[in-house]
Structure 1
């Protein structure tokens, strides 16, 4: 009788990771433009960009965003938002986003954007939503023609430094049968707590629309606590949850002491929408190897892998996964766990998520092991 040696875990090459089915919950529409599209749309409206070559423009965005400051990072959106002020511009950007995500192996995506930022050329809030939804539908159809199946939900976002959150919440509720699956607040986090928008979150809770909130990215545990108070079912980034965890260097994980907020988040498996490269750019981590996502995973938190802004970070879901595998030691099992966490945390209806998991995610990872 011979001893059977178990099959080795497959090497996580870039090509293998690219082929994996993926879920992205945190991807900003105005942060994922193709440089070529940005150049063409800017020329149409006479908007001056910092570069006229697609590769040089892409490099500029990454460099400008790689400052260690969330405020500076957010300034790069002046250019992308500028070309998203017409129905045609919004449709094209939305269409491109879906096609690009599908090409990266994404089978379910939630696209978020703030309608209030797209009114400079006379569109109404509803016209903005109409244009984006048309573009997303066109993107799903275009991806299908290329042999890719992807489902997309929309997160309507309010800007946390403004005073339109209740109006934007009403807009989200009015479009919940047209692809809008949830609500978010975004923008400069420090100094603009989620609790400033209590009326909007009360309205959403009363009408049972799911909420995710940017929290724990550029502000600490109080921001996370405020998001939870407002009913967040997911946390955008959430990595500052580590501020509420005590663990000595090199100490066993079981010696970790969790504060009240961290304990609540872990006990209830509130998903963290983590975007590793973006967090490096805004100063939330010093390297992929040292990024809190791995420790949070090991401590039992529900972590998911996201892109945040693909243009500003020069990234994709596949690239984020490849970095975690090559620099933080993530295995295929780790990537599958994070993908399933994201799938079950999505705001689409449960039967749709079950279909995606059973028909796409599980077979895709099984094929990778084969």
Structure 2
């Protein structure tokens, strides 16, 4: 397997910059997500990887081979990449096996070799018993797996996935997340997965490229993005939390309880360092607030099944989100202790 290198890739559509100098080094066999809101450039980047869009600047390399640059553009059919679309794009007049084998027919493969490749691809997505069925007889999740098998049948170097779970209901999406993880574990294919759903990206990817307005905001593992976001925008996009200002710390520093609490207790006008506090790091004292605790008022309660979300307001006027095992009445005064926080880069 070969690594995929995206070096300073830029794409202009007239005066609009859809992708702005994006650089990523993707390891062989890695599962990577391009994550961001609608219009951030992630699908445009995927289309440039596939060869459907030329580059304005930069370079895309697969191993030692240049796939795209300002001077060179290898067509899609010569890149040995496969793409799974949001709409599945299955032929309704073909059965499952014929849909999966269609790319092989384009390569003029037939006979026993053709049958062997199709059977292998169907086995990888656990659909061998469905080979003779038509796509109309399958569920949405099964159709998506047929689309995956069609990708695998040609042994591609890279599989590109364009929001493949967007058309599925919530329950089926959760089941398909497990299928994708199992698929990656068994094939060890290099996957580039586009999504606007941060929970999908966090559950599936080895590393995530968070994009905003065509630019790369942060490139890291899911755990790093959650625990150590670079900016307030990434912190608010990945997971839940509260953004406060403190008098202590500097960007990239973790503040422990003592420094964080003293930094919050200072006058609001003296606080200049933005800090992220995740709700699981807020301890709520509903009955006997200690002298060391900050005072807060309950403004709202949301039931989440295994816990309650408390929407609090500190005496400084700042909002604070916390988790608690029980519902507390709105308007109730409580104490809170902030166990840790992560210092962020100030917004430009």
Q: Same fold (TM over 0.5)?
A: no
Determine which structure has the larger helix proportion and give its number.
1
**Structure 1 length-normalised TM:** 0.26
Q: Which has the larger radius of gyration?
A: 2
Bigger RCO (CA 8 Å, 6+ sep): 1
Higher strand share: 2
TM-score (norm 2): 0.27
